[in-house]
Amino acid sequence: MLISELLEEYLLEIDARGQSKTTIKTTKDSIDTFIKFTGDISIFKVNKIIINKYIIDQRTRCKNNTINNRIIYLRGLYKYAVEQELIEKSPFKNVEFLKKPKVMIKTYSPDDIQKILGSLKGRDFLTVRNRTLITLLVETGIRNSELCGIKLEDVYEGSIRILGKGNKIRFVPISKPLRLQLLRYMRVRNKYTLNHPSDYLFVNRLRQPMTRPTLLKAIKDIGKKLGVDVATTIHNFRRYFAQQLLNDVDIYIISRLLGHSHLATTELYIRSIEDTTIVEKGATYSPLSKKK
């Protein structure tokens, strides 16, 4: 069996498990880089020497984090081959991950958020929609794909039903600012979609369900106009949400709201908090500083 043949079967398997289209595409793209390096050889010919040569080659092309992610996808592929008894042992089982530098990730500041929201004061559909989707991102920390997938029936009185990675369902709360903005948006949306009804909460200018590229372009255009760095776009809203909640909320609750399976992932989101802020928090909330 060739690697490409195993990959084709594996993609059908993870699709059947309910993995998102984004995950399936990323899995394919990552494993394709390995096939491009080795050639479409038999799955039995992959060994530690070939894997090491691949890693050495990749280190000249991308960051260690990217290489580690590709190793994870390749491990999944060969784990599947073992489970299906196509091979006895995975050559990726004992491959060590490359060291990852601890990077302090910068996110939006409160001033950036106010600047973005303050620029969206119009009453036309697109302006109100954009202010609503940014308010939703700031107030809930949901992913871009999750935002695009929200249907009208998912919006309840005090929460929104979110379909996350791996088709996992969670609920995020509707704050007072978000409730007010949703009310304003629905009033404008109902008029805009009167003759073109849609089940989805957010629609584009053609009254079709909003897609990820449309969402990213809308945010990038706003950031470019205001001079706000939107290089990491949606994930910066997620990080901002996590960091702001950390002032008053336990990290476990933040992790649940973000839809993370592991606390370690949530910790990455709050890593960019400045050292000065951490020192200030330590002084304010030290055991003897607390009021009795």
pLDDT, one tens digit per residue, over 162-179 is: 988 778 888 998 999 999
Catalytic residue chosen out of the listed positions 10, 54, 78, 269: 269
Catalytic residue chosen out of the listed positions 70, 143, 189, 239: 143
Q: How confident is the model at residue 279 (pLDDT cuts 50, 70, 90)?
A: very low
Task: Report the SS3 class of residue 84.
Answer: coil
Catalytic residue chosen out of the listed positions 28, 151, 165, 207: 165
- Residue 15 tokens read as 């699709």
Residue 269 known to be catalytic:
yes
In 3D space, the residue among 72, 17, 68, 79 whose CA is nearest the CA of residue 43 turns out to be 79
Whole-number pLDDT of residue 5:
96
Q: How confident is the model at residue 260 (pLDDT cuts 50, 70, 90)?
A: confident
Residue 262 known to be catalytic:
no
Residue 79 known to be catalytic:
no
Task: Report the SS3 class of residue 21.
Answer: helix
Q: Is the pLDDT of residue 278 over 50?
A: no
Q: Is the pLDDT of residue 39 over 70?
A: yes
State the average pLDDT for the chain.
85
Whole-number pLDDT of residue 285:
47
Q: How confident is the model at residue 14 (pLDDT cuts 50, 70, 90)?
A: very high
Catalytic residue chosen out of the listed positions 70, 129, 189, 260: 260
Domain chopping of the chain, boundaries: 3-84, 110-274
**Options 3.40.950.10, 1.10.8.80, 2.30.30.90, 1.10.443.10; CATH of 110-274:** 1.10.443.10
- Give the DSSP per-residue string, 226-245: HT---TTHHHHHHHHHHHHH
Catalytic residue chosen out of the listed positions 63, 161, 235, 271: 235
Average pLDDT rounded to a whole number, residues 131-156: 91
Whole-number pLDDT of residue 159:
92
Backbone dihedral region for residue 102 (phi beyond 0: left; psi -120 to 50: alpha; all else: beta): beta
Q: Is the pLDDT of residue 81 over 80?
A: yes
**Higher per-residue pLDDT: 102 or 93:** 93
In whole angstroms, what is the distance from residue 138 CA to residue 260 CA? 17
Whole-number pLDDT of residue 101:
67
pLDDT, one tens digit per residue, over 179-214 is: 999 999 999 999 999 989 999 999 999 999 999 888
Render the burial of 77-98: b for 16+ CB within 10 Å, e for the rest.
Answer: bbebbeeeeeeeebbbeebeee
Q: Tell me which architecture the domain covering 3-84 has in CATH.
A: Orthogonal Bundle (1.10)
Q: Is the pLDDT of residue 261 over 90?
A: no
Residue 238 known to be catalytic:
yes
Whole-number pLDDT of residue 213:
87
Residue 196 known to be catalytic:
no
Whole-number pLDDT of residue 289:
46
pLDDT, one tens digit per residue, over 218-251 is: 888 887 787 776 655 567 788 888 777 776 777 7
pLDDT, one tens digit per residue, over 58-67 is: 999 998 989 9
**Higher per-residue pLDDT: 91 or 18:** 91
